[in-house]
Amino acid sequence: MRSKALRTSLLILTLVLILAFLLPNIFNGREKKAFSNENRLQRAKQSLNINHLGDTATVLISDFYDRGSITTRILGPHYRTVWATPINLPVFDIDSIHGGLTFDEAGGGQQTFSIKLKAKDSRTYTLRSVNKDQSRALPAILQYSFLRPLFRDQASALNPFGALVTEHFEEALGILHTRPTMYLIPYDSTMPDIIQTQIAGRVMILEEEPDQSWEGSENFNYPDHIISTEEVIARSKKSSVMIDSLKYLEGRLLDFMISDWDRHGGQYEWAVYNTKNKLPLARPIAMDRDMAFFKFDDGILNHVALAINNKFQTFNPEYDDISGLIRNSKDIDQYILRHVPLSEFLSKAKHVQNVLTDSVIYEAFKKYPPPVYNQYGAEHINILKERRARLDSAATVFHELINY
């Protein structure tokens, strides 16, 4: 009996391993097509050669997320139709943009591929991939399991145009920010082969890389220095710089409105301004708006994920869980804002509500490409108006959470 039970257990274990690790690596042609550098480079050579394109081209960002009704019900509709919508984008011409750029170095986080470039005036820019590879967040062994395509699929919860819309709000509020522009990267034989393999055929966002090369620039209101979050906190603890806590608070309230739940210290650089007879003043430069207008709570498995980890907050008319919106940022929020009174939280909420008028909101969402605006423009305008109306209540909860 023991022998039979053992054989049965081994058989079940073998079947589980086959299902979990073998099948996802055999029946994955669609996944390979979407995430293979070689396949993307070959497609770019065939149909996206810069010598055969004009200043703009019509492309779709990814059709990998276009799923059937059963899969969509389980994993959520998210922004699948947006990712697969053909849009018209400017074609990236490295020799003409910002007076001509040169490649510097590759980089990026766990899920985003990026590459730094330099202009002739030595200012630094970054190209960042719009499509993400969420599977890189998995431990190495699990990247060969069924969790890999599952995690990759969840990039469909991201709004690929969120950064373009958010910039308009940041500009209206006077929040320091990078200025993203979305491009199609063509096949360009003048680029180094190693660069071509990584970026040809991608849709990417080009924006400033706020580092020392941008000190004294108009883009960030002529700062004397630009430093990291780690450095600004270290200097603050030594009383050698003063953080503009109210400007940081203003930005955080905007984050709440657009449901950008991923605002840890790495999402900021800090512009430092020398002042007469006072400590230098540091103001945040907001970057990386990948999670703006996130849409996650619309699938069966996603509700399970939210029960485990509440940070994946959806852009709904109501604020579902403020504690989720600050889960990634609570340490820095507490350090900068703990001594700010509730009256200032409410005052800043009122200020944001007054500045982000109906017309500002409308103009911001017109940053969507026309086919995307036709799908989501009116809905997102109405959602943001609802969140604006509830911002004072959200600010009150925020104050309570960081002072708990």
25 has a pLDDT exceeding 90:
no
How does residue 97 score in pLDDT terms, banded at 50, 70 and 90? very high
- Residues 228-281: tens digit of each pLDDT: 999 999 999 999 999 999 999 999 999 999 999 999 999 999 999 999 888 999
Q: Of 27-36, 74-83, 342-351, which range is least confident?
A: 27-36
Phi, psi angle pair for 57, to nearest 5°: -150, 150
234-404 CATH pick, 2.60.40, 1.10.1070, 1.10.3470, 1.20.1070: 1.10.1070
110 has a pLDDT exceeding 60:
no
Percent of the chain at pLDDT exceeding 90: 77
- Residues 43-96: tens digit of each pLDDT: 999 999 999 999 999 999 999 999 888 989 999 999 999 999 999 999 999 999
Where in the chain are the domains?
41-158+177-220, 234-404
Query: What's the pTM?
Result: 0.93
365 has a pLDDT exceeding 80:
yes
Q: State the average pLDDT over residues 360-387.
A: 98
- H runs (alpha helix) in 22-109: 29-35, 37-47, 69-75, 80-83
Q: Give the separation between CA 330 and CA 332, rounded to whole angstroms.
A: 6
Percent of the chain at pLDDT exceeding 70: 95
Owner of token pair 């690929």? 160
Q: Are 172 and 357 in contact (CB under 8 A)?
A: no
Q: Give the separation between CA 205 and CA 183, rounded to whole angstroms.
A: 6
Please name every residue paired with 91 in a beta bridge, in sequence order, or none if there are none.
Answer: 184
Q: Which two tokens stand for residue 327?
A: 């889960």
Q: State the average pLDDT over residues 277-299.
A: 95
Pairing state of beta strands 242-243 and 281-286? parallel
Q: State the average pLDDT over residues 171-180.
A: 98
Q: Which two tokens stand for residue 387?
A: 């969140």
- Residues 125-153: tens digit of each pLDDT: 999 999 998 888 888 888 888 889 888 99
